[in-house]
Structure 1
Amino acid sequence: MADKRRENEFLEILGASVINIKQLGKLSSYGISDTCGIRPLAWRILLKYLPAKRDSWASVLDENRKIYKQFVNEMIIKPGLKEYCTERTDVTMDDHPLNPNPKSEWNSYFKDNDILLQIDKDVRRLCPDISFFQNASNYPCEDLVNPINRVEVLHKRVQRTALSSQNVAKNRSGIVSGLISKKKQALEEYAVLPEGSEAHWEVVERILFIYAKLNPGTGYVQGMNEIIGPLFYTFASDPNKDWAEHAECDTFFCFTNLMSEIRDNFIKTLDHSMTGIGGTMDKVSNLVKTCDPKVWLRLDSQSIREEFYLFRWITLLLSQEFSLPDTIRLWDSLFSDPLRFDLLVAVCGGMIILLRDQLLTGDFSSNMKMLQNFPDSVEMEVIIAKAHEIKSYVNLAYLQK
């Protein structure tokens, strides 16, 4: 009965001519109903993709979908094809693979391959315990099946021999597998589907490639695949087919908006600034020190550095510490926080404090293992409740001062 009442509350808020964002956020902080496509719609609003005025949605969506289609056609095109040409043309001396001209399509093509190599490797790791990303999309890129076939299948550009070597790399803090949890250590690559089909991981690959092309200052950084995965899963699983059909475009813009809020965590030059990952880790450490000095002293005495576990927690919004359903539930609360991402700091601090008894009795090895592989026995609702409790009596704004 309570679930049905909450569902009706969501439907009432989302059905209004002007969405009350504050009310939607307050209700979403306790979890969003899975039914009727409520979560995908709520996320689009909370991530500032859809405006509050409902009657403007159609024009916003139409414009963004045209823009995204243009991105695909302009950024994922096979070299050697003249613009607007209806037939494949021969490569001429005007543009060929050895052309030194910086404006050459081939020059850009080869530079892009360096980015694509990492993206392709990472998207094949997405959520290995579910089959969703291996499954064929019901809405493959229409230009891939177009007879002209100007848009390229990205995974075909990646050299398979390069993918089979060095699957585990050091992150920028020098920690091996810093962004790869135990769930990712022994995976088989996703199988490529028959010609004309497109797996969900291939769709994600295209989105990330376009994002990297449009944001050269940030580019693509390992771990972005773990941020985009739950977004695309949520939008592509929408029971409303009209929305699910455009999951790729909507994911791109929501991911771009989300990255605008957390991208400092992915920029190495900002690691030790207040806005970068180092500043956020300091906030979590200071929060634990304030709320539970004994736990903080225990970790400090054992020289358990925040980089060993918090780096991944914060950068990936905890997507690698929990199952996909729990991650999605957590993100309901994170996206609803008007002071994003203060709640993330409280959640990370709460997770550590909830392990108090084990941490105070554990040695270096057991404590490190527990923090790098957060116990499944701690329920998500308990973690979120602890985070809200912490926020109610700790001023997070002063933790870094």
Structure 2
Amino acid sequence: MKQLLLGYLPAEKDLWEGELAKNRLRYAELKRELLLNPSEFLMEEDEASNSSMPGRDNEAGGLLCRREISNGDHPLCLGNGSIWNQYFKDAEIVEQIDRDLHRTHQDIKFFSGDSSFSRKNLEAMRNILLLFAKLNPAIGYVQGMNEVLAPLYYVFRMNQEGEDAVREPYC
């Protein structure tokens, strides 16, 4: 019922399962696209280009090829098109988010403590807040957004566990 009121699910109950699957897939795509570490991105890019070019594999007995580094993809590049530059800007936002998340409802074990459950919840909330900031650059992340997200995330997560859902959409 909460998801209906928030506009997360359509009014027709028959469409809920498909809508949930679509939303989970979209969220996973956004995480993969926007929260990727540049090292992982460049490694995947290299693997893709190496597998498509014969004679450029790094298998045993093959030649190790040196990766060419352009001006836009090394950690010291300050250019706006650099994925590393964006990564370090995002790291500043993550630092601010983490400071706020550690103050989120310290009296509730769901958000505090050293359990894997609470750490997983805070990590999921970090991802949600960072994705929001990246998808809405005019707004970005503002102190206190964690307090807005906390009750929403709690309700969605507890509802999901109450329904014994197999997949976890916000991790």
TM-score, length-scaled by structure 1? 0.34
Residues 1:212 and 2:138 aligned together: no
Unaligned runs of 5+ in 1: 1-41, 138-189, 191-197, 250-401
Measured after TM superposition, the shift of residue 199 of structure 1 is 2.6
Cα distance, 1:123–1:212 mapped onto 2, change above 3 Å: same
The CA distance in 2 between the partners of 1:104 and 1:92, in whole Å, is 15
SS of 1:117's equivalent in the other structure is: helix
Measured after TM superposition, the shift of residue 233 of structure 1 is 1.3
Larger C-alpha radius of gyration, 1 or 2? 1
Cα distance, 1:247–1:93 mapped onto 2, change above 3 Å: closer
Listed one character per residue, the Cα deviations across residues 117-165 of structure 1 (whole Å, up to 9, x for unaligned) are 211100111111121123323xxxxxxxxxxxxxxxxxxxxxxxxxxxx
Measured after TM superposition, the shift of residue 214 of structure 1 is 0.4
Residue identity opposite 1:130 in structure 2: I
Residue identity opposite 2:9 in structure 1: L
Among 73, 91, 99, which residue is 2:32 paired with?
Answer: 73
Listed one character per residue, the Cα deviations across residues 89-125 of structure 1 (whole Å, up to 9, x for unaligned) are 9875222112244222101111112211211100111
Contact 1:115/1:220, CA 8 A, preserved across alignment = yes
The CA distance in 2 between the partners of 1:232 and 1:91, in whole Å, is 42
TM-score, length-scaled by structure 2? 0.75
Residue identity opposite 2:14 in structure 1: D
Measured after TM superposition, the shift of residue 242 of structure 1 is 0.8
The CA distance in 2 between the partners of 1:90 and 1:214, in whole Å, is 35
What percent of counterpart residues are identical? 39
Contact 1:50/1:60, CA 8 A, preserved across alignment = yes
Which residue of the partner structure matches residue 168 of structure 2?
Answer: 246
Residues 1:58 and 2:21 aligned together: no
Measured after TM superposition, the shift of residue 204 of structure 1 is 0.7
Contact 2:75/2:84, CA 8 A, preserved across alignment = yes
Which residue of the partner structure matches residue 106 of structure 1?
Answer: 84
Residues 1:47 and 2:6 aligned together: yes
Contact 2:24/2:169, CA 8 A, preserved across alignment = no
Which residue of the partner structure matches residue 296 of structure 1?
Answer: none
State which drifts further: 125-134 or 204-213: 125-134
SS of 1:241's equivalent in the other structure is: coil
Which residue of the partner structure matches residue 119 of structure 1?
Answer: 97
The CA distance in 2 between the partners of 1:116 and 1:49, in whole Å, is 26
Residues 1:136 and 2:116 aligned together: yes
The CA distance in 1 between the partners of 2:67 and 2:133, in whole Å, is 27
Contact 2:100/2:143, CA 8 A, preserved across alignment = yes
Which residue of the partner structure matches residue 74 of structure 2?
Answer: 96
Cα distance, 1:237–1:208 mapped onto 2, change above 3 Å: same
Listed one character per residue, the Cα deviations across residues 197-220 of structure 1 (whole Å, up to 9, x for unaligned) are x53112111110111100101111
Among 107, 131, 144, which residue is 1:223 paired with?
Answer: 144
RMSD: 2.5
Cα distance, 1:56–1:90 mapped onto 2, change above 3 Å: farther
The CA distance in 2 between the partners of 1:132 and 1:115, in whole Å, is 23
SS of 1:133's equivalent in the other structure is: coil
Unaligned runs of 5+ in 2: 49-64
The CA distance in 2 between the partners of 1:69 and 1:247, in whole Å, is 8
Residues 1:237 and 2:161 aligned together: no
Moved over 4 A (4+): 89-92
